[in-house]
Amino acid sequence: MFERLRLHRRRALARLAAFALCGMAAVPAAFAAPDAQALLAASDAVRNPSRPFSVTVNLLEYRNARQTDNNTLSVYSKADPNGGQFNTLIRFVAPQRDANKLLLKNGNDLWFYDPASQASIRLSPQQRLLGQASNGDVVTANLARDYQASWLAEEDVVDGERTTRHCHKLGLAASSPDVTYHRVEMWIEVGSARPVKARFFAQSGHLLKTAFYRKFQPQLGRERPTEVVIIDGLDPAWVTVMRYSDWALREVPDAWLQRDFLPRFKPE
Protein backbone atom coordinates (compact mmCIF):
# COMPACT_ATOMS: atom_id res chain seq x y z
CA MET A 1 0.00 0.00 0.00
CA PHE A 2 2.70 2.51 1.10
CA GLU A 3 4.90 1.29 -1.74
CA ARG A 4 2.07 2.08 -4.17
CA LEU A 5 1.62 5.58 -2.72
CA ARG A 6 5.33 6.21 -3.03
CA LEU A 7 5.20 5.02 -6.65
CA HIS A 8 2.35 7.41 -7.40
CA ARG A 9 4.17 10.29 -5.77
CA ARG A 10 7.36 9.55 -7.70
CA ARG A 11 5.44 9.37 -10.94
CA ALA A 12 3.56 12.60 -10.23
CA LEU A 13 6.85 14.37 -9.54
CA ALA A 14 8.32 12.99 -12.73
CA ARG A 15 5.32 14.28 -14.70
CA LEU A 16 5.56 17.68 -13.03
CA ALA A 17 9.25 17.86 -13.85
CA ALA A 18 8.60 16.83 -17.42
CA PHE A 19 5.97 19.48 -17.99
CA ALA A 20 8.08 22.09 -16.24
CA LEU A 21 11.04 21.29 -18.44
CA CYS A 22 8.86 21.36 -21.54
CA GLY A 23 7.34 24.65 -20.42
CA MET A 24 10.79 26.19 -19.93
CA ALA A 25 11.84 25.03 -23.35
CA ALA A 26 8.65 26.04 -25.12
CA VAL A 27 9.99 26.74 -28.56
CA PRO A 28 7.47 26.09 -31.34
CA ALA A 29 9.90 24.35 -33.61
CA ALA A 30 11.08 22.07 -30.88
CA PHE A 31 8.12 19.75 -30.71
CA ALA A 32 6.08 18.88 -33.78
CA ALA A 33 3.18 16.52 -33.03
CA PRO A 34 3.12 13.48 -35.30
CA ASP A 35 0.48 13.27 -38.02
CA ALA A 36 -2.31 11.62 -36.03
CA GLN A 37 -4.42 10.73 -39.05
CA ALA A 38 -1.47 9.01 -40.72
CA LEU A 39 -0.75 7.07 -37.50
CA LEU A 40 -4.37 5.94 -37.34
CA ALA A 41 -4.31 4.88 -41.00
CA ALA A 42 -1.09 2.92 -40.38
CA SER A 43 -2.73 1.21 -37.42
CA ASP A 44 -5.77 0.37 -39.58
CA ALA A 45 -3.42 -1.28 -42.05
CA VAL A 46 -2.04 -3.49 -39.27
CA ARG A 47 -5.53 -4.72 -38.36
CA ASN A 48 -6.94 -5.03 -41.88
CA PRO A 49 -5.50 -6.67 -45.00
CA SER A 50 -5.68 -4.36 -47.99
CA ARG A 51 -6.88 -7.14 -50.33
CA PRO A 52 -10.26 -8.95 -50.12
CA PHE A 53 -10.12 -11.64 -47.46
CA SER A 54 -12.10 -13.96 -45.23
CA VAL A 55 -11.56 -14.78 -41.57
CA THR A 56 -13.33 -16.79 -38.88
CA VAL A 57 -14.23 -14.92 -35.70
CA ASN A 58 -15.01 -16.71 -32.46
CA LEU A 59 -16.66 -14.61 -29.75
CA LEU A 60 -16.46 -15.90 -26.18
CA GLU A 61 -18.43 -13.90 -23.68
CA TYR A 62 -17.86 -13.96 -19.91
CA ARG A 63 -19.85 -12.60 -16.99
CA ASN A 64 -18.23 -12.72 -13.57
CA ALA A 65 -15.59 -15.10 -14.93
CA ARG A 66 -18.20 -17.56 -16.20
CA GLN A 67 -18.59 -18.17 -19.92
CA THR A 68 -22.10 -17.11 -20.92
CA ASP A 69 -22.05 -17.18 -24.71
CA ASN A 70 -20.10 -18.50 -27.66
CA ASN A 71 -20.65 -17.41 -31.27
CA THR A 72 -18.75 -18.26 -34.41
CA LEU A 73 -18.88 -16.08 -37.50
CA SER A 74 -17.43 -16.23 -41.00
CA VAL A 75 -16.40 -12.79 -42.19
CA TYR A 76 -15.88 -11.77 -45.83
CA SER A 77 -14.46 -8.31 -46.31
CA LYS A 78 -13.38 -6.06 -49.13
CA ALA A 79 -12.34 -2.41 -49.27
CA ASP A 80 -14.64 -0.17 -51.27
CA PRO A 81 -12.55 1.25 -54.15
CA ASN A 82 -14.43 4.56 -53.92
CA GLY A 83 -14.56 5.36 -50.21
CA GLY A 84 -11.81 3.10 -48.86
CA GLN A 85 -14.08 1.84 -46.09
CA PHE A 86 -14.60 -1.91 -45.86
CA ASN A 87 -17.75 -3.63 -46.99
CA THR A 88 -18.29 -6.78 -44.97
CA LEU A 89 -20.57 -9.79 -45.14
CA ILE A 90 -20.85 -11.92 -42.00
CA ARG A 91 -22.36 -15.35 -41.82
CA PHE A 92 -23.38 -16.76 -38.44
CA VAL A 93 -21.97 -20.27 -38.13
CA ALA A 94 -22.75 -21.21 -34.51
CA PRO A 95 -24.81 -21.64 -32.39
CA GLN A 96 -27.21 -23.60 -34.53
CA ARG A 97 -30.24 -21.42 -33.76
CA ASP A 98 -28.47 -18.59 -35.60
CA ALA A 99 -26.77 -20.66 -38.31
CA ASN A 100 -26.71 -19.03 -41.76
CA LYS A 101 -28.13 -15.70 -40.65
CA LEU A 102 -26.28 -12.86 -42.35
CA LEU A 103 -25.12 -9.38 -41.46
CA LEU A 104 -24.10 -7.04 -44.27
CA LYS A 105 -22.30 -3.75 -43.85
CA ASN A 106 -22.16 -1.79 -47.08
CA GLY A 107 -20.92 1.75 -46.45
CA ASN A 108 -22.98 2.92 -43.50
CA ASP A 109 -25.83 0.55 -44.38
CA LEU A 110 -26.26 -2.39 -42.02
CA TRP A 111 -28.62 -5.20 -43.04
CA PHE A 112 -29.58 -8.29 -41.11
CA TYR A 113 -30.95 -11.24 -43.05
CA ASP A 114 -32.71 -14.29 -41.62
CA PRO A 115 -33.01 -17.11 -44.20
CA ALA A 116 -35.96 -18.59 -42.33
CA SER A 117 -38.20 -15.58 -42.96
CA GLN A 118 -36.41 -14.24 -46.05
CA ALA A 119 -36.45 -10.88 -44.31
CA SER A 120 -33.73 -8.26 -44.82
CA ILE A 121 -33.98 -5.74 -41.99
CA ARG A 122 -32.03 -2.52 -41.82
CA LEU A 123 -30.18 -2.07 -38.52
CA SER A 124 -28.89 1.04 -36.84
CA PRO A 125 -25.28 1.04 -35.56
CA GLN A 126 -26.67 0.98 -32.02
CA GLN A 127 -28.45 -2.37 -32.51
CA ARG A 128 -26.27 -5.22 -31.24
CA LEU A 129 -26.75 -8.79 -32.38
CA LEU A 130 -23.92 -10.32 -30.41
CA GLY A 131 -24.26 -9.33 -26.79
CA GLN A 132 -21.54 -6.90 -25.80
CA ALA A 133 -19.80 -6.82 -29.16
CA SER A 134 -21.36 -4.18 -31.38
CA ASN A 135 -21.93 -4.87 -35.04
CA GLY A 136 -19.12 -2.40 -35.66
CA ASP A 137 -16.75 -4.54 -33.59
CA VAL A 138 -17.17 -7.62 -35.74
CA VAL A 139 -16.98 -5.94 -39.15
CA THR A 140 -13.74 -4.72 -40.60
CA ALA A 141 -13.43 -0.97 -40.16
CA ASN A 142 -10.95 1.65 -41.23
CA LEU A 143 -11.16 4.03 -38.29
CA ALA A 144 -9.25 6.68 -40.24
CA ARG A 145 -12.26 6.97 -42.57
CA ASP A 146 -14.83 7.52 -39.83
CA TYR A 147 -12.86 9.47 -37.22
CA GLN A 148 -10.81 12.64 -37.07
CA ALA A 149 -7.65 11.87 -35.10
CA SER A 150 -5.63 14.23 -32.94
CA TRP A 151 -2.32 13.44 -31.28
CA LEU A 152 -2.55 13.72 -27.49
CA ALA A 153 0.65 12.38 -26.01
CA GLU A 154 3.36 9.79 -26.04
CA GLU A 155 3.00 7.46 -23.11
CA ASP A 156 3.63 3.98 -21.83
CA VAL A 157 0.75 1.56 -21.45
CA VAL A 158 0.46 -2.05 -20.44
CA ASP A 159 -0.60 -4.04 -23.49
CA GLY A 160 -2.76 -7.15 -23.72
CA GLU A 161 0.25 -9.35 -22.92
CA ARG A 162 1.01 -7.19 -19.82
CA THR A 163 4.12 -5.80 -21.46
CA THR A 164 4.79 -2.08 -21.27
CA ARG A 165 4.64 -0.47 -24.71
CA HIS A 166 5.67 3.04 -25.66
CA CYS A 167 2.70 4.44 -27.56
CA HIS A 168 1.19 7.42 -29.29
CA LYS A 169 -2.06 8.29 -27.59
CA LEU A 170 -4.63 9.53 -30.12
CA GLY A 171 -8.01 11.10 -29.57
CA LEU A 172 -10.57 10.17 -32.25
CA ALA A 173 -13.70 12.23 -32.83
CA ALA A 174 -16.50 10.77 -34.96
CA SER A 175 -16.70 12.59 -38.28
CA SER A 176 -20.17 11.24 -39.06
CA PRO A 177 -23.21 10.76 -36.78
CA ASP A 178 -23.78 7.19 -38.01
CA VAL A 179 -20.73 5.57 -36.41
CA THR A 180 -20.96 3.35 -33.36
CA TYR A 181 -18.80 5.40 -30.98
CA HIS A 182 -18.82 9.13 -30.41
CA ARG A 183 -15.23 9.36 -29.22
CA VAL A 184 -12.28 6.97 -28.98
CA GLU A 185 -8.93 7.07 -27.20
CA MET A 186 -6.39 4.88 -28.93
CA TRP A 187 -2.86 3.83 -28.08
CA ILE A 188 -0.67 2.93 -31.05
CA GLU A 189 2.84 1.59 -30.53
CA VAL A 190 5.58 3.99 -31.54
CA GLY A 191 7.50 2.58 -34.48
CA SER A 192 5.37 -0.45 -35.35
CA ALA A 193 1.96 1.32 -35.57
CA ARG A 194 0.43 -1.68 -33.82
CA PRO A 195 -2.88 -0.95 -32.14
CA VAL A 196 -2.37 -1.71 -28.45
CA LYS A 197 -5.40 -0.48 -26.58
CA ALA A 198 -8.53 1.58 -27.20
CA ARG A 199 -11.22 3.13 -25.04
CA PHE A 200 -14.60 3.82 -26.63
CA PHE A 201 -16.95 6.52 -25.32
CA ALA A 202 -20.64 7.38 -25.73
CA GLN A 203 -21.87 10.86 -26.59
CA SER A 204 -22.67 11.35 -22.90
CA GLY A 205 -18.98 10.90 -22.16
CA HIS A 206 -19.22 7.63 -20.29
CA LEU A 207 -16.87 4.79 -21.09
CA LEU A 208 -18.58 2.09 -23.17
CA LYS A 209 -15.75 -0.39 -23.46
CA THR A 210 -12.00 -0.91 -23.39
CA ALA A 211 -10.32 -3.10 -26.00
CA PHE A 212 -6.87 -4.74 -25.98
CA TYR A 213 -5.38 -5.89 -29.29
CA ARG A 214 -3.09 -8.84 -28.69
CA LYS A 215 -1.58 -12.15 -29.82
CA PHE A 216 0.08 -10.65 -32.88
CA GLN A 217 0.89 -13.28 -35.50
CA PRO A 218 2.00 -13.18 -39.13
CA GLN A 219 -1.24 -13.29 -41.13
CA LEU A 220 -1.68 -12.36 -44.79
CA GLY A 221 1.68 -10.69 -45.13
CA ARG A 222 2.28 -8.95 -41.80
CA GLU A 223 1.93 -9.17 -38.04
CA ARG A 224 -1.71 -8.69 -37.09
CA PRO A 225 -3.66 -8.97 -33.83
CA THR A 226 -5.48 -12.30 -33.70
CA GLU A 227 -7.33 -11.58 -30.48
CA VAL A 228 -9.22 -8.60 -29.10
CA VAL A 229 -10.26 -8.53 -25.45
CA ILE A 230 -13.24 -6.24 -24.82
CA ILE A 231 -14.07 -5.06 -21.30
CA ASP A 232 -17.38 -3.37 -20.60
CA GLY A 233 -17.12 0.20 -19.36
CA LEU A 234 -19.83 -0.08 -16.72
CA ASP A 235 -19.36 -3.70 -15.71
CA PRO A 236 -15.69 -4.74 -15.93
CA ALA A 237 -16.69 -8.33 -15.11
CA TRP A 238 -18.35 -8.47 -18.54
CA VAL A 239 -15.61 -9.55 -20.92
CA THR A 240 -15.70 -10.63 -24.57
CA VAL A 241 -12.78 -12.38 -26.23
CA MET A 242 -12.79 -12.09 -30.04
CA ARG A 243 -10.47 -14.58 -31.72
CA TYR A 244 -9.55 -14.45 -35.40
CA SER A 245 -8.49 -17.57 -37.31
CA ASP A 246 -8.49 -19.11 -40.78
CA TRP A 247 -7.34 -15.92 -42.49
CA ALA A 248 -7.42 -16.27 -46.26
CA LEU A 249 -7.15 -13.96 -49.23
CA ARG A 250 -10.19 -14.62 -51.37
CA GLU A 251 -12.26 -12.97 -54.03
CA VAL A 252 -15.35 -11.24 -52.62
CA PRO A 253 -17.57 -10.35 -55.59
CA ASP A 254 -19.25 -6.94 -55.47
CA ALA A 255 -22.58 -8.71 -55.97
CA TRP A 256 -22.25 -10.32 -52.53
CA LEU A 257 -22.13 -6.94 -50.85
CA GLN A 258 -25.63 -5.68 -51.51
CA ARG A 259 -28.96 -6.29 -49.84
CA ASP A 260 -30.62 -7.98 -52.80
CA PHE A 261 -27.96 -10.68 -52.86
CA LEU A 262 -28.45 -11.80 -49.25
CA PRO A 263 -31.02 -14.53 -50.08
CA ARG A 264 -28.56 -15.85 -52.69
CA PHE A 265 -25.45 -16.01 -50.55
CA LYS A 266 -23.87 -19.46 -50.67
CA PRO A 267 -20.09 -19.29 -50.28
CA GLU A 268 -19.21 -22.96 -50.81
Of residues 72-91, which lie at the interface with other proteins (CB under 8 A)?
Answer: 72, 74, 91
CA angle 230–46–240, rounded 5-degree value:
10
Helices of type H across the chain: 2-24, 36-47, 135-138, 143-146
Which region among 42-50, 102-110, 140-148, 217-225 touches other proteins (by CB under 8 A)?
Answer: 102-110
CB distance 72 to 258 below 8 Å? no
236 binds other proteins (CB under 8 A): yes
Per CB under 8 A, which of residues 55..74 are in contact with other proteins? Answer: 56, 58, 60, 62-63, 65, 67-70, 72, 74
96 forms part of the interface with other proteins (CB under 8 A): yes
Residues 204-223 that bind other proteins (CB under 8 A): 210, 212, 214
Write the burial class of residue 18 (CB in 10 Å: 0-12 exposed, 13-18 middle, 19+ buried).
exposed
157: β partners: 165
Decide: is 19 part of the binding site for other proteins (CB under 8 A).
yes
Interaction of residue 24 with other proteins, rule CB under 8 A = yes
When binding is defined by CB under 8 A, the residue of 15, 148, 191, 248 that contacts other proteins is: 15
Smaller CB distance to other proteins: residue 249 or 255?
A: 255
**Is 115 one of the binding residues for other proteins (CB under 8 A)?**
yes
Residues numbered 133 to 152 that lie near other proteins (CB under 8 A) are: none
What are 124's strand-pairing partners?
none
Contacts of 204 (CB under 8 A, 6+ apart): none
Distance from C-alpha of 3 to C-alpha of 26, rounded to nearest angstrom:
34
Does 255 sit near other proteins (CB under 8 A)?
yes
Judged by CB under 8 A, the number of residues near other proteins is: 92
Task: Give the whole-angstrom CA distance, residue 268 versus residue 184.
Answer: 38
Supply the minimum distance, in Å, between the C-beta of residue 220 and other proteins: 19
* Nearest residue to 207 via CA among 225, 226, 183, 224: 183
Q: Is 173 a residue that touches other proteins (CB under 8 A)?
A: no
